[in-house]
Structure 1
Amino acid sequence: MTFSLPTNLHNATTLTGRALLASLFLVSGLGKATAPAATLGYIGSIGLPFPALALAAALVVELGFATALLLGYRTRLVAFVMAGFSIATALMFHNQLGDQNQFIHFLKNLAIAGGLLQVAAFGPGALSLDARSGRRVAQA
């Protein structure tokens, strides 16, 4: 038995899923952009080299790529890169798994990566810039 959503519900669901995933990154990116010194201090505190470069990369992903995800622009590539970013940040920043709070953040990042990989696999849906441009939007 195959379950499929009616077209309008499917379109709304894919857009809502992208918006919910993007919102987390946009809020985080805005926080980093408005308090760069705190973010640079945190990046430096874990011993990563080139904190300013790491901050710039995080801002590109969290503001730029999240906006592209929200709009459904080059969605599959964007979602795949953001999934990698989520896994990398889990490993770098939330690796103290004995600390329950850090363990929850680690699992949250992995779950977000899972959602992004679903977007990468199945596409952005009809309510996206990719659909308007004729890029492949759904897995056949």
Structure 2
Amino acid sequence: MNTIMLVGRVLISLLFIWSGLGKLMNYEGTIGYIDSAGLPLASVAYLIALAVELVVAPALLLGFKTKPAAVIISAFSAVAGLLFHFHPEDTNQMTHLMKNLAISGGLLYVLVSGGGLYSLDRLLSKR
């Protein structure tokens, strides 16, 4: 069970870390994409995304502050899905929205279950 919890955290967090690295390597393209969605303050949205994907997601990976990390990434995933993929006329975009919402739902399970035995939370709680 604890090994499965670790694998789940790793798989979910790697998606966000990978995405954050892509954003970091393509600032102008990412800003353009955020602008194309009609969001104000694209540079602020960019920084928020980087913080979630390159700070909070690694915390989830390591099982550090697992429950708050799960809440933050769950909310980020749901909001990003709604802002960028809610296009009922486009089946592909709606599939992306549903994937974001499914990831958000999976993270709610992490919120309930915590980091498990193989987490920094567990290690630090022993002290």
- TM-score exceeds 0.5: yes
Look at both structures and tell me which one has the larger radius of gyration over its CA atoms: 1
Report which of the two has the higher share of helix.
Answer: 2
Shift of 1:131: 0.1
Larger RCO (CA under 8 A, 6+ residues apart): 2
Aligned to 2:123: 132
1:75 to 60, 66, 73: 66
Distance 2:28 2:118 in 1: 38
Aligned to 2:103: 112
TM-score normalized by the length of structure 1: 0.88
Report the secondary structure of 1:61's partner residue: helix
Shift of 1:63: 1.0
1:121 to 107, 112, 115: 112
Aligned to 2:38: 47
Shift of 1:11: 1.5
Distance 1:100 1:91 in 2: 14
The amino acid of 2:112's aligned partner reads: A
Aligned to 1:95: 86
Aligned to 1:5: none
Shift of 1:84: 0.5
1:35 to 4, 21, 26: 26
The amino acid of 2:11's aligned partner reads: L
